[in-house]
A and B are shown apart, each in its own frame.
Chain A
Amino acid sequence: AQSVTQLDSQVPVFEEAPVELRCNYSSSVSVYLFWYVQYPNQGLQLLLKYLSGSTLVKGINGFEAEFNKSQTSFHLRKPSVHISDTAEYFCARAAGNKLTFGGGTRVLVKP
Chain B
Amino acid sequence: DAGVIQSPRHEVTEMGQEVTLRCKPISGHDYLFWYRQTMMRGLELLIYFNNNVPIDDSGMPEDRFSAKMPNASFSTLKIQPSEPRDSAVYFCASRKGGSDYEQYFGPGTRLTVT
Contacts and interface: CB of A to CB of B under 8 A. Distances in A.
Interface string B76-103: 0000000000000001010000011111
A44 B101 contact: no
B50 interface: yes
Given A43-B108, A51-B99, A103-B42, A98 B91 contact: no
B12 interface: no
Q: Mostly helix, strand, loop or mixed at chain B's interface?
A: strand
A98 B33 contact: yes
Given A90-B43, A98-B48, A104-B42, A43 B101 contact: no
A97 B107 contact: no
Nearest to A94: B101
Q: How large is the interface on A (under 10, 10 to 19, 20 to 34, 35 or more residues)?
A: 10 to 19
Contact of A104 (B43, B48, B55, B105): B43
Contacts of A45: 105
A56 interface: no
A49 B103 CA distance: 11
Interface of B: 4, 31, 33, 42-43, 45, 48, 50, 55-56, 91, 93, 99-108
Most A CB contacts (10 A, CB to CB) among B91, B99, B100, B105 go to B105
Contacts, number: 41
Contacts of A90: 43
Nearest to A6: B42
Given A104-B42, A104-B43, A98 B56 contact: yes
A32 B105 contact: no
Contacts of B33: 98
Interface in A25-62: 32, 34, 36, 42-46, 49, 51
A43 B103 contact: no
Given A43-B105, A45-B105, A101-B42, 7 more contacts: A43-B91, A51-B100, A98-B45, A98-B48, A98-B56, A99-B103, A104-B42
23 contacts: A34-B101, A34-B102, A36-B105, A42-B107, A42-B108, A43-B91, A43-B106, A43-B108, A44-B91, A44-B93, A46-B102, A49-B100, A49-B102, A51-B100, A97-B55, A97-B101, A98-B45, A98-B56, A99-B101, A101-B42, A101-B43, A103-B42, A104-B43
